[in-house]
Amino acid sequence: MTDSALNVILAELKTMGSQGPEPEALGLRIKQLVGQYRLLFERSSTIGNLLQNAWSTGAPYEWVENHTDRLQKVSYGDVKRVANEYMDMFD
């Protein structure tokens, strides 16, 4: 990754931390992620991979089943908080 790419990423994190995401953009992104995740369940090999990852990381299997519920609960404040946590690493 180039220095200019890192600068763009850091600038975006600063914006997310100070202003937060645009509510409409956040809603659309969450819908996109939920849709993509649900499409993963069309292939048994992908389901196996998700369950294997849960097992290998010690996550409960319910995490695989309830992932979309958790995504849909992400709020504007969550995005700002996490962006600020990442920015604090660079101060």
Give the tens place of pLDDT for each residue, 14-58: 888 888 889 999 999 999 999 999 999 999 999 999 999 999 999
Reported pTM: 0.75
C-alpha to C-alpha distance for 48 and 45, rounded to whole angstroms: 5
pLDDT for 39: 94
64's CB contacts (< 8 A; 6+ apart) are 47, 50, 51, 54
Give the pLDDT band (50/70/90) at residue 91: low
C-alpha to C-alpha distance for 72 and 82, rounded to whole angstroms: 16
Query: Is residue 66's pLDDT more than 90?
Result: yes
